A and B are shown apart, each in its own frame.
Chain A
């Protein structure tokens, strides 16, 4: 433990420096702007549950879909050195599949919800496998390969249910998207925690993390060492498919409605950003999923901060872009190496001064 602290103290936080600094900066900025910004209250909601409320809860809750997608996106990025830009459209498909099963049963029970979720998972994994096959077997650039589904995904989502904005209402769906009776924490937050724990367990008990990293750094070298790089790349897309299904299900359950045109619109860009803010190389190789999760919360905190400042939402994207440019530039290798050189210079200067003092 002490070793670890010393390591952090000496070498900085490494990859996580940028996301953690960003989140601290936003927290500090908000505390100066409005000291009560992060206050958490308990309120009685309209279903008669005591629940937590406040900006902090809004941020953590609102970022749930993004956080889940960012985890999967990190894996794809690390293995393939490219990104999947179809996750929003794929989530609309998964959400539509989820709604399709729910609507086909006369009354919604726990069983139908589980069945609908599993169906959504299968559908999303199939589409993930489609993307993955294009990338791993046919060696198509990930962005180009996933551009196909990005373009047609929302039309496919429409075909599944036909009508625009089909609605489903059930206490169970409400519990998934909002609060479980008796639990004050929003359910989507719990789902993110569960997905994160699953990732931790998978990395702990399998070599998936190591394999993904080595395939990302050098695919042919990995193959020579007996790693099936085609399979690892395909697998990363299928895992992302699972994340897509989870995100789609959360998105649909929040309002009990699916609008295939707007569900998780533009989220692919935020997910890629979260990966980048998390300090992961978009060219593949080494990765830290925790960085991407923090990145997701940074993006959401930025949005909520701008809303709280009543910045017109037409301008929100521009302000967001400014902050993100800053973050990405600060995290770029050029600035990093300049900064390290600067530190080294100061250190050597100090040493010289102290040596002189000794003389």
Chain B
């Protein structure tokens, strides 16, 4: 009885595996042939657009570049959870896409899926976020260099040649990539003594908290002339505190205001002269990946740093706002 059962189980198992294997190979087959004939099938595994203004722009950019008009067939899956993302990637592999683009929720757990993709002949690109896997498992990773964003911003600040730098530094959520990168460059200046740290506090990306931090500095009577906020929202919170205390800011103001992310509304603040600087964190990786796919760009290093700008209120143009601004 038990032997019989075991035998039939074995039979079923072998049937299932052969079926699976045949499915896999046919999937791979259509994948490789799809490039020359119909549209190029691209599967994107991303975080949901609701995550942030950055992600929203990122998702829109992907949809615009990998459009039917450009000869692509785009499939998307959005989740903040790594396991759901893994499942989605698995699904895309079974469906037989030509390219798999991933912005992972977590850096771990991707080995198996990427190996399967490789076996099926699917080329993998990482964008925005790196994954802890062997480099051979993906074609290229197009990412931002957060510490370069910090460097660019601090370089700009130094080029302003202020008599002294008394900086209020409002940090993002501690430990996040953006916070670590954008803090590093400024910390180096504090350490060298070129700039004075009036206060360095995290507002965990919270606008209202940023306002409270600046308010407490104003109340304490400490002198400051630079606000370095690690995103636009916190810069806005800081400026609200300045406005209530009657302290001038922006171009020709007493306090230099710096933000990051280049939201459209923030760039408009720059244009109006209320802020001085906004550093870009570019969500536009799709074009680079598309160029590689179509052979217009060759991959020299696996890690491709997405060029990012810093905008000075004095030289910002309306075109910049439309091209680089996020959101509405």
Residues of A at the B interface (CB closer than 8 Å) are 43-47, 51, 53-55, 58, 62, 155, 158-159, 163-167, 178-179, 251, 254-255, 257, 259, 261-265, 303-304, 307-308, 310, 312-314
**B202 pairs with A254, CB closer than 8 A:** no
Contacts of B132 in A (CB 8 A): none
Q: Which residues of A contact B91 (CB under 8 A)?
A: none
| Chain B positions near chain A (C-beta within 8 angstroms) | 50-53, 55-56, 174, 199-209, 211-213, 215-216, 218-220, 232-233, 236-237, 240, 242-248, 263, 265, 327-328
A158 cross-chain contacts in B, Cβ below 8 A:
50
Out of B208, B212, B237, name the residue touching A304 (CB < 8 Å).
B212
Given A43-B246, A257-B207, A308-B219, decide whether A164 and B50 contact each other with a Cβ distance below 8 A: yes
CA distance A343 to B212 in the complex (A): 42
Given A166-B328, A254-B208, A255-B211, A51 and B244 contact (CB-CB distance below 8 Å): yes
Known: A164-B327, A257-B236, A265-B206. A46 touches B242 (CB 8 A): yes
Pairwise interchain contact A307-B213, C-beta atoms closer than 8 A:
yes
For B240, give its contact among A55, A58, A254, A263 (CB under 8 Å): A254
Contact of A45 among B51, B237, B245, B328 (CB under 8 A): B245
A307 touches B201 (CB 8 A): yes
Our pick among B50, B53, B201, B207 for the contact of A155 (Cβ within 8 Å) is B50
Return chain B residues, CB-CB under 8 Å to A159: 50
Q: Which residues of A contact B233 (CB under 8 A)?
A: 165, 257, 259, 262
Docked-complex contact B245 and A53, CB < 8 angstroms? yes
Q: A179-B244, A313-B201 are in contact. Are A58 and B174 (CB under 8 A)?
A: no
Residues of A near B51 (CB, < 8 A) are 164
Chain B residues in 8 Å Cβ range of A255? 207-208, 211, 236-237, 240
Given the known interface contacts A155-B50, A166-B328, the answer about A53 and B244 at a Cβ–Cβ threshold of 8 Å is yes
Contact check, B53 vs A304: say whether CB atoms are below 8 A apart: no
Contacts of B201 in A (CB 8 A): 307, 312-313
Q: Which residues of A lie under 8 Å from residue B55 when comparing CB positions? A: 164
For the residues of B in contact with A, the DSSP-based class is: helix
Q: Is the CB of B50 within 8 A of A262?
A: no
A51: nearest residue on chain B (CB-CB)?
B244
CB < 8 Å neighbour of A46 from B236, B237, B248: B248
In contact, A46 and B243 (Cβ under 8 angstroms): yes
Given contact pairs A46-B246, A58-B219, A262-B204, a sample of 5 additional A-B residue pairs in the complex whose CB atoms are under 8 Å apart:
A55-B219, A251-B208, A307-B213, A310-B199, A313-B209
Task: Give 27 A-B contacts (CB < 8 Å), ordered by A residue.
Answer: A43-B245, A43-B246, A45-B243, A45-B246, A46-B243, A46-B246, A53-B219, A54-B219, A58-B216, A58-B219, A62-B212, A164-B52, A165-B53, A165-B263, A165-B265, A178-B240, A178-B244, A254-B211, A257-B207, A259-B206, A262-B233, A264-B208, A265-B206, A308-B219, A308-B220, A310-B199, A314-B174
CA distance A158 to B174 in the complex (A): 24
Q: Name the B residues within 8 Å of A310 (CB-CB).
A: 199
- Evaluate contact between B327 and A163: CB separation under 8 angstroms: yes
A-B pairs with the 9 shortest C-beta distances?
A: A164-B53, A307-B216, A313-B201, A158-B50, A262-B206, A46-B243, A45-B246, A167-B265, A55-B219
Complex Cα gap A259–B327 (Å): 13
Contacts of B207 in A (CB 8 A): 255, 257, 259, 262
Q: Which residues of A contact B242 (CB under 8 A)?
A: 46
- The answer to whether B202 and A313 touch across the interface, beta carbons within 8 angstroms, is yes
Q: Report how far A257 CA is from B268 CA in the complex, Å.
A: 14
Chain A contacts of B216 at CB under 8 A? 55, 58, 304, 307-308
Residues of A within 8 A of B199 (CB): 310
Chain A minimum-CB-distance residue to B53: A164
Enumerate chain A residues within 8 angstroms of B244, measured Cβ to Cβ. Answer: 45-46, 51, 53, 178-179
- The smallest beta-carbon distance between A266 and chain B, in angstroms, is 9
